[in-house]
Structure 1
Amino acid sequence: MSESSSGLTTSNQKFCESYLSCCSILRDTPPIPAGLSQGRGIVRPSCDSGLPPPLPSDSFKYLGWCDIEEHDVRGNQLLCPRVREGPSEEELFFRREEHPLKKRKQELNLSFQDLGDLYQVENFKRILQRLIRVEKLWLVDNSLTDLSAIRLPRCRELNVNKNHFRSFKQLPKIPQIQHLSLAENNIVTLSGISDFRHTPLESLILKRNPCEFQERYRQLVFSSLPNLKMLDGIPKLPEDYSPPEIRFFYKMCTIL
C-alpha cells in the first residue's frame, strides 16, 4: 500500500474520488416525476463506494400521499412512511358510511405513570376529570389511593390493578361500568360494593385483596350485585345462589 504526498494512502484516495463522483451524479440527476415509476424504464444511479442506492421513494419524499396520482412504490421501500389521507366526510356521505373515528371506541392506557410526588398525582387527576368520553381505561400500577372525585360517565371497562385502594368508596363514579378489575389492591371489606348494584356490572375481579379471604366471600358479592355474571374469572356457580348458612348453637349440659 503506497502513500501519496498529501499523506493519504492510494486506496483511501480512490475511495474519496469514487465517493465524490457518485455524489456529483446524484446531485446532477433531475428528480423523477411523480407519475413515473421504477417499472417504466427509470434507471437510478448506483455507487461503487459502498453507499446504499437511493430508494424508489426518494422522488416522492417532499410530496404528500394526496399529491401522488400514480406510483408503484411499496411500503417496505419507504424510509419514513406517511399516513395516507383518509376520505373526506362528503365522500363518506355519498358512500353512506359513518366516519371511522365515530366507530372506534375511546380507549386510553395510562398505566405505570410512576406518580411519586403529590403534584404529579394532582395533575394526573385533572387529566382524568377530562375523560368524559373514554370507554376503556387502564390505570394499572399508579399508586392511586382515592379517585372518588372523578366521574367517568361513559366508562364501560376499568382496570385499576396494583394500586392502593382500600375501599370501593375510593373508586371513581362509573355508572355505565360493565367490567371492573381491582386485583392486587388493599380492599379489606366488601363495604360499599352495593353502590354498583344499579350499574350494568357483569364482571368483577378482586383477586389478591384481603376481602377475598372473607367468609362466604362469593355469596356476599353475588347477593350484593344481582347483575354480576363473573367473579375473579369464574362464572356464577349454583352454590353462589344459595343463601348464607344459618348456624344453630345448642346449649349443652353436663350431667354429673
Structure 2
Amino acid sequence: MSESSSGVNTLTGSFPKSIPSRCSDLGVARTPLCVDRSPDSGLPSTPLPSSRFRFASWHRLQQCDVTGGQLTCPRVREGPTDEELFLREGDDVCLDRDRRRRREAEGRRWQERLQENWENCLELNLSYQDLGDPFQQENFLRILRRLIRVEKLQLVDNSLTNLSSVRLPRCRVLNLQRNRLVCLRQLPKLPVAEHLCLSDNAIGSLRDLGALRDGPLRSLRLSGNPVTFTQDYRARVFICLPKLEVLDGIPRLPEDSPPTRPLLPDSTKTCSIL
C-alpha cells in the first residue's frame, strides 16, 4: 500500500484524519475518480477528475492539472485561529505581538480569498462540509453569496438551516438533500431554477411555495419531508406550480388534478397513518 506526498492512500483513495493545508505537491496523484451520487437526489451529476483533493484548498494546487471547478468537495470549512478563539473567550489580556500576528493572518486569508475566484464557478459540489462551528457557517455563506455564475450546485448533508440571504441568479440545478430546512421561506433566491431537490429535510408546510411560481421550475423533490403527508399533497403542489412537470420523481398524472371539492388550507388537515 502506497501513499502520495499529501498523505492520501493512492490505492484506496482513503484520507487521513488530518491533512496539511499546504498542498503544493499534490500533482503526483492523478488517477481520476468519479463523484459519488446520491441515489435519491434525481439530479444530474458530472463525473469529476479526482476526489482525492476534496479536503485541500483548491487554489493552492499549483502543480496539479485539476482545476478548482473540477474538485468534488473543495475545502471551505477552515476553523478559527487560536488567536480568534482566545479573543472569543473574553480575555482582556492581548499582547501587541498577538494582535500583530492576528492582522498578518487576516491579511494572508484575504489574499487567499482573492485567489479563490468563486465568481467564475459554473458547476460546484460543496456537500458534506460538516459545518460545526459558527465561523465555518459564516464562511460557507460568504462563499455561497459569491456564486453569481454557478449553474449546478450540490449542497447535500451540510446541516443548513437558512439560506434566505443567498441569491443564485444563474443556478438551474440545486440539490439541498439531507439538510435542516423547516420551511420554504428559508430557500435561497432562485429566479431561473429548473430542478430543485429538497428531500429529507423537515419542511412541514407548502406555504411560500408560490415564490417559485414565476420561475421555470420543471422538477421538484420533497420526499422525506413531513409536508408529503398533507392531504391532496400532489394536487396542492401542482396548483402552486402550474409549470411543474415532475414531482418526487413521478411525472404529472391525471390524478394530480385539483379535486372537485374545495381544498382546505394547508395547515388544517393532514393524512393520518395508523
Q: TM-score range by the shorter chain?
A: 0.5 to 0.7
Q: Deviations over 1:18-54 (max 9, x none)?
A: xxxxxxxxxxxxxxxxxxxxxxxxxxxxxxxxxxxxx
DSSP-derived class of the 1:137 partner: strand
Aligned residues: 147
| Corresponding residue of 2:110 | none
Query: Shift of residue 124 of structure 1?
Result: 0.3
Query: Shift of residue 245 of structure 1?
Result: 2.8
| Corresponding residue of 1:164 | 180
Letter in 2 for 1:238: P
2:164–2:188 Cα contact (<8 Å) kept: yes
Question: In structure 2, how many angstroms separate the alpha carbons of the residues matched to 1:82 and 1:120?
Answer: 27
| Corresponding residue of 1:198 | 214
Query: Shift of residue 219 of structure 1?
Result: 0.1
| Corresponding residue of 2:229 | 213
Query: Shift of residue 105 of structure 1?
Result: 8.5
State the structure with more CA Rg: 1
Letter in 2 for 1:146: N
Letter in 2 for 1:163: N
- TM-score, normalised to structure 1, is 0.55
Q: Deviations over 1:47-82 (max 9, x none)?
A: xxxxxxxxxxxxxxxxxxxxxxxxxxxxxxxxxx98
2:178–2:201 Cα contact (<8 Å) kept: yes
Please, which runs of 5 or more residues in structure 2 have no aligned partner? 1-62, 66-119, 264-274
Question: In structure 1, how many angstroms separate the alpha carbons of the residues matched to 2:143 and 2:170?
Answer: 16
| Corresponding residue of 1:179 | 195
Question: In structure 1, how many angstroms separate the alpha carbons of the residues matched to 2:177 and 2:149?
Answer: 21
Distance 1:244-1:114 versus aligned 2 partners, 3 A rule: farther
Runs of 4+ in 1 over 6 A off after TM superposition: none
Question: In structure 2, how many angstroms separate the alpha carbons of the residues matched to 1:134 and 1:111?
Answer: 15
The reply on whether 1:137 has 2:153 as its aligned counterpart is yes
1:157–1:180 Cα contact (<8 Å) kept: yes
Distance 1:150-1:214 versus aligned 2 partners, 3 A rule: same
1:167–1:187 Cα contact (<8 Å) kept: yes
Query: Shift of residue 215 of structure 1?
Result: 0.2
Distance 1:244-1:191 versus aligned 2 partners, 3 A rule: farther
Higher RCO (CA 8 Å, separation ≥ 6 residues): 2
Q: Deviations over 1:146-175 (max 9, x none)?
A: 000000000000000000001111000010
Query: Shift of residue 220 of structure 1?
Result: 0.1
Distance 1:217-1:126 versus aligned 2 partners, 3 A rule: same
Query: Shift of residue 226 of structure 1?
Result: 0.5
Please, which runs of 5 or more residues in structure 1 have no aligned partner? 1-80, 84-103, 248-256
The reply on whether 1:126 has 2:142 as its aligned counterpart is yes
